[in-house]
Amino acid sequence: MSLYSRITGTGSYLPPRRLTNADLAAELAVNGVLTSDDWIVERTGIRARHFAAPDVCSSDLGLAAARQALQAANLQAQDIDLIIVATSTPDMVFPSTACILQNKLGAHGSAAFDVQAVCSGFIYALTVADALIKTGAATKALVIGAEVFSRLLDFKDRTTCVLFGDGAGAVVLEASDTPGILASDLHADGKHVGILCVPGHVSGGKTLGDPLLKMDGKAVFKLAVGVLDEAAREVLAKAGKVAADVDWLVPHQANIRIMQSAARKLKLPMEKVIVTVDQHGNTSAASIPLALDGAVRSGTIKPGELVMLEGVGGGFTWGAVLLNL
């Protein structure tokens, strides 16, 4: 009998501190950086974001999302035999955030590791978990995207600091005899490293290089729209589907313009696109599971519907997953 994997539970968490565009503009103005709600909304579609408290880490955000997903799947922590955390903002250099989260969750003994593919991280992690379940190496997996991106922001650069927020999203993926994840498609091209990066690292107890986010917005936009369309079409072809079959598109919540362009290329109306970027900004690897959980819990996405997840991020990385919920 063939093994498949299905999402059986979703969860998400946003830290309590919420900053509207007006709140952020007021804070930036203290440092002489001028911006406005209109300027941010027009270019990004973002109206608010959440920032974690200084003592809160990615594992803390991920833990809250994981608990929700487990509850939705009617599972206990000890039922899990695989934990994958997608993050670019780990708690420590090592051990992995997944191991730290595993301990906080009380799920001892399962395999646990991190995936680093920036904003595509959740797509990568979900694909890896699906593959491990299909081979029989795991039966019940927690796949989590968790980020504290506020720690990487240069608050003197309004072109980047207004874009990002903190948060976490999670899914439980279980072995099934009926297909859930139908196909996935992953890619990367390292020649584009410089257009979106945090070019710093730790050496000898010091930070070498620049530990703050750098982005060439125009280059990222141009590349993102093209590769998202390629990944979407490739994953549809692998599953023997066409764009018209898709009930819902859940893209990486980076920028409303990128999302609109991706939908337009697939000839999907925006009514079929799950949009949450206005409420939490770009939460990197957390954004897709955050959006998915919100849509599932609201009843917007219903069981049996065909859902496409797609993401693009620094590296440059990109990919898509097609699934029946």
Q: Mind telling me the catalytic residues?
A: 119, 252, 282
Give 54-88 pLDDT, tens digit per residue: 999 999 999 999 999 999 999 999 999 999 999 99
* 51/148 same-domain check: yes
Considering its fold, how many domains does the chain have in total?
2
Distance CA 40, CA 162 (A): 7
Residues 6+ apart with CB under 8 A from 266: 229, 232, 233, 243, 246, 249
* 263/138 same-domain check: no
Give 182-206 pLDDT, tens digit per residue: 999 999 999 999 999 999 999 999 9
Asked which of 177, 206, 229 is the last residue of a domain, the reply is 177
* 95/14 same-domain check: yes
* 159/214 same-domain check: no
* 146/239 same-domain check: no
If one counts every other C-beta atom within 10 angstroms of the C-beta of residue 32, the result is 7
pTM exceeds 0.85, yes or no: yes
Asked which of 128, 160, 177 is the last residue of a domain, the reply is 177
Specify the pLDDT at position 31: 83
Asked which of 123, 152, 177 is the last residue of a domain, the reply is 177
Give 144-180 pLDDT, tens digit per residue: 999 999 999 999 999 999 999 999 999 999 999 999 9
> What CATH number does residue 239 fall under?
3.40.47.10
CB 174 within 8 A of CB 131: no
* 193/319 same-domain check: yes
Residue numbers of the domain that contains 74: 4-177
